[in-house]
Amino acid sequence: MSEGSLEAPIRHPLDWHSEEFYDPDKIDAELRRVFDICHGCRRCFNLCNSFPRLFDLIDESETGELDSVDSKDFGPVVDDCTLCDMCFMTKCPYVPPHEFNLDFPHLMLRYRAAQYRKKGVGFFDEQIARTDRNGKLGTMAPRLANWATRRDNTLTRPAMEKIAGIDRRAKLPPFNSPTFERRAAREHPPVNADAPAYGRKAVIYATCFVNYNNPLTGEAALRVLAKNGVDCIHAYPECCGMPQLEHGDIETVAAKARHIARALMPYIEEGRTIISLTPSCSLMLKFEYPLLLPDDPDIARLAGAVQDISEYMMDIAKNEGLAEGMKPLSGPVAMHLACHSRAQNMGPKGAELLRQIPQAKVQVIERCSGHGGSWGVKKKFFDTAIKVGKPVARQALKTVKTAPDTAHVVSECPLAGEHILQGMEMLEAETPLPQHSRHPIELIARAYGLLDDE
């Protein structure tokens, strides 16, 4: 591959079954090879904190080169990677098929996998990653759970910070009961037989966040799909495993992948599209699973059947046309393109979808929010998460200030959306802000009159 080639980047499967994958000497050699190339390039200096930390580490060393940096100092560089994939997808000129063969995020994952195999992660980090267990407990007593996690709770939040390392300033997602699964089981919106896309069939993979924390996104998706003639049901075998992937617990992720593929296969056999409501989960099902289990035919079929909700809606818009009936929104939209949406290489589908609303004023923000899953709520990283997301918060504030009482802050990633709002609040506490961020499908539902305009 020549410099400046226009060939699409490719990712190689992870050889996580091999002992070499976990060999500390081989990992160190690869870290040094990649870090030296990054040091000479520096195009990624403004993407996240991993690269500035790496470059400062080298610049402040005895020789100003990587050879005088001790390998034990590489840990913080790895810790600051949120596996957003933006360096691989948008910045790095040396990704495969280039001969340098750089895949920075997957190298960070390899390092974490070796660390996980050696000593695991801390007890509380392990517990935070158990989203299904936590969701079930939280939705059993949501008022108590939400009281305990409120930022102004001076009893529980300092204790959580000291014991579990969750920053007391970080906004945590609330639990909602009943779950989306229960709501979907009793809600059967009529399928619009007059819609241009009538005849399509799909199944919503709810994702843990929608199921336990924000069922409204799922309800909006069900109603909008029915309005557009899609015969849609729901399924939620379990969490996709992204929290475990962040820790390097590849074995658990692979087990989840096999289980989810088996559970969703009957729907694929029926000819249904698998629609994911959270971009991190879409990314896992489409891309990460096949890289972990490249020889599993069920995984390959699942990956080919999955679409993100915004991607699916735009497929309808471009091929059959959306059902009529949408009305203008009450105000402008600050639309954040989440990293894991961009990493799917499908284009800005959330923004394209919102522009289907008559007279929609959509301001697109194409930078990392800084949240990074559970990474951004930890005391160790919270200030960095706010710093990385500050440019996004500033851009969103500009949109909100044009119509403080009616503007919308939108992201396909729910954690990113709330993190952006918190960043906006920390920048200018006196500016009136929306109470919550929204998923694009929620605004589409409101434009159709299918949800109350809260």
Rounded-to-integer distance, Cα 129 and Cα 137, Å: 14
Same-domain status, 146 and 194: no
Q: Identify whether 325 is part of a domain.
A: no
Same-domain status, 279 and 397: no
Report the pLDDT averaged over residues 274-278: 97
pLDDT digits (tens, 9 = 90+) for 385-397: 999 999 999 999 9
- Prediction pTM value: 0.93
pLDDT value of residue 1? 45
Q: Identify whether 275 is part of a domain.
A: yes
- Tokens 């996004």 locate to 392
- Tokens 């809600």 locate to 187
Rounded-to-integer distance, Cα 91 and Cα 89, Å: 6
Burial 123-153 (b: 16+ CB within 10 A, else e): eebeebbebeebbeebbeebeebbebbeeee
Q: Identify whether 8 is part of a domain.
A: no
Same-domain status, 232 and 150: no
| Count of domains for the chain | 4
What is the phi/psi pair of residue 257, to 5°? -60, -45
pLDDT value of residue 94? 93
Q: Identify whether 262 is part of a domain.
A: yes
Rounded-to-integer distance, Cα 415 and Cα 173, Å: 8
Q: State the average pLDDT for the chain.
A: 94
- Has residue 2 got a pLDDT over 80? no
Q: Identify whether 6 is part of a domain.
A: no
Same-domain status, 274 and 338: no
Same-domain status, 314 and 196: yes
pLDDT value of residue 362? 96
Q: Identify whether 324 is part of a domain.
A: no
Same-domain status, 268 and 351: no
Banded pLDDT at 6 (limits 50, 70, 90): low
Same-domain status, 337 and 300: no
CATH number of residue 214's parent domain = 1.20.1050
pLDDT value of residue 5? 57
Both tokens assigned to 270: 């029926």
Q: Identify whether 45 is part of a domain.
A: yes
pLDDT value of residue 192? 97
Same-domain status, 68 and 39: yes
Same-domain status, 154 and 262: no
Least confident of 173-177, 263-267, 302-306, 338-342: 338-342
Banded pLDDT at 9 (limits 50, 70, 90): confident
pLDDT digits (tens, 9 = 90+) for 184-226: 999 889 999 999 999 999 999 999 999 999 999 999 999 999 9
* Domain C-terminal end among 250, 285, 319: 319
Same-domain status, 418 and 344: yes
Same-domain status, 340 and 295: no
Q: Identify whether 328 is part of a domain.
A: no
pLDDT value of residue 91? 85
pLDDT value of residue 345? 87
Report the pLDDT averaged over residues 142-148: 97
Report the pLDDT averaged over residues 238-267: 97
Banded pLDDT at 374 (limits 50, 70, 90): confident
Q: Output Rg (C-alpha) for the chain, integer angstroms.
A: 22
Residue 88: domain span: 19-119
Rounded-to-integer distance, Cα 109 and Cα 83, Å: 8
Same-domain status, 437 and 345: yes
Report the pLDDT averaged over residues 56-60: 93
